[in-house]
Amino acid sequence: MNPVPSTTADVPAAREARVGEAQRRRARDLLAQRDAVLVAHYYVDAELQDLALETGGCVADSLEMARFGRDHPARTLVVAGVRFMGETAKILSPDKRVLMPDLEATCSLDLGCRAEDFARFCDRHPDRAVVVYANTSAAVKARADWMVTSSCALPIVADLKARGRRILWAPDRHLGRYIQEQTGADMLLWDATCVVHDEFKGIELELMRHEHPRAKVLVHPESPSSVIAQADRVGSTTALLRAVTEMEADEFIVATDAGLFHRMQQMAPGKTLMEAPTSGAGATCKSCAHCPWMAMNSLSKLEQCLQGRGPVIELDDDVIRRARTCIDRMLDFVATHPGSITPAPGGFVPNLGAA
C-alpha cells in the first residue's frame, strides 16, 4: 500500500510540474511569434536559464549577454537579468526592442552610484581615465571613457597603466582594490559594494577550508579582500565556471551568487559544490548568497512581458550615443586581445548538448 503522506505530497508537486511545463510551452511559442530571443544571466532562476538554452538564446555573464544580443538576428531581445543589462543591450542594439521581465530588478552597485554624484566625482579629477564597471546605469556609462566587466577589467586597466594613465574607478570598491593590487595602477575608488558578494566572510571561509582540505576555493572579485586572499582561482562568473570544469579537484567552495551553481552542476555533474560562508558562528541571520533583484525574474513575468510586449527599456538617443563609446572601446579591446579574457567552456552555444 502506498504511504498516504507521499501520495498527497505528490499531487501538488505533479500539478506544479504541469503548470510549469504549460508556462514553458507558452513562453517558447511567444518567443517564436514575437521574433524574440531570451538572453539570461547565470544568476537568474534555473528554469529561465534552461529555457534560454532550449530556445536558442544564451546564458552568460554581462559581457557575453551584450555581445550575444547585439549579434543575434532577432528583432526583440528579452533580457532576464537586472536593469543595467537591459540598458547595455539597448545601447548596443538601439534598433531592437529590449524587454525585461521586471524593470524594478536593479543592482546595489547601480543604486550606489547615482549619475549626478558620479559626474561631480569625475569633474574633480579631469586628468584621470574614467573606467566604470558594467554594473552602472546608462547615464553613468555616458560619462565614462571605458566600460569593463569582471572578465576584462584587469587587462584593460593594466593596458591603461602601461600607457601612463591614472584611473578613476567606479563603483565596486572590492573589485577596484583587487585590480589596483594586481596591476599596481594609480586608482581612485568609488565606494559601493554588491549586496551578495560583500557578505562572504574570510574567517569562516578559513574554518571551512580546514573542514574540506581537498576543496578548491573559487572567488568572484566583488568579494572582500580577506576572501579573495584565500582563493585558488579569482575571476568572473565565466572564469569560475571554466575553473570547475577544468580543475582536477572534485570539491569546490564557491564565493559567488548561488544562481551560478545550476550551470556549474550542468557543466561538471560529478563535482561537489559548496557555498562559501556568509555568516559567523552563532549568527541568527545568514545571507542566502542570491541576488534579490536577479530573483525578481520568473517564468510568469517572462510570459506576461512577452504577452504585453513590455516593460520595454527606453533610453535617450544622446545617452545611447555617449554610453556606446565606452562599451565599444571595451569590445574593440577584447576583440584585439583575444587571450585577455576567459572564454566560456565550450563557447556560447544554444543547447546543452553542444556545450
Query: Residue 200 CB, nearest distance to ligand SF4 (Å)?
Result: 12
Closest alpha carbon to 188 in 144, 120, 130, 108: 130
Per-residue x/- track, 168-197, ligand SF4 (CB under 6 A): --------------------------xxx-
Sites for ligand SF4 among residues 37-56 (CB under 6 A) = 43
Nearest to 103 by CA among 323, 307, 296, 306: 296
* Contact mark string toward ligand SF4, 114..143, x via CB under 6 A: ---------------------x--------
State which residue, 58 or 296, has the beta carbon closest to ligand SF4: 296
Q: Is the peptide bond before 277 cis (omega within 30 degrees of 0)?
A: no
Question: Which positions from 244 through 283 interact with ligand SF4, judged by CB under 6 A?
Answer: 257
* Min separation Cβ 334 and ligand SF4, Å: 20
In this chain, which stretch among 53-61, 236-244, 289-297, 303-311 interacts with ligand SF4, using CB under 6 A?
289-297
| Min dist. Cβ of residue 199 to ligand SF4 (A) | 10
Contact 297, 45 (CB under 8 A): yes
Nearest approach in angstroms of CB 28 to ligand SF4 is: 26
Please give the span between the terminal C-alpha atoms of the chain, in angstroms, as a whole number.
44
- Name residue 36's beta-bridge partners: 76
Residue 146 sits in the site that holds ligand SF4 (CB under 6 A): no
Residue 135: CB atoms within 10 A of its CB come to 30
- Residue 355 contacts ligand SF4 per CB under 6 A: no
- How large is the greatest C-alpha to C-alpha distance in the chain, in angstroms? 79
**Residue list 323-352, contact with ligand SF4 (CB under 6 A):** none
Strand order in the sheet with 272-275: 233-234, 216-219, 251-255, 272-275
The DSSP bridge pattern shows strands 36-41 and 76-80 to be: parallel
Cβ of residue 290: shortest distance to ligand SF4, in angstroms? 8
- Asked if residue 136 lies in contact with residue 109, where contact means CB atoms within 8 angstroms, the answer is yes
Under the criterion CB under 6 A, does residue 27 sit at the interface with ligand SF4? no
> Is residue 158 within 8 Å of residue 86, measured between CB atoms?
no
**Residues lying near ligand SF4 in the complex (CB under 6 A):** 43, 82, 107-109, 135, 194-196, 257, 291, 293-294
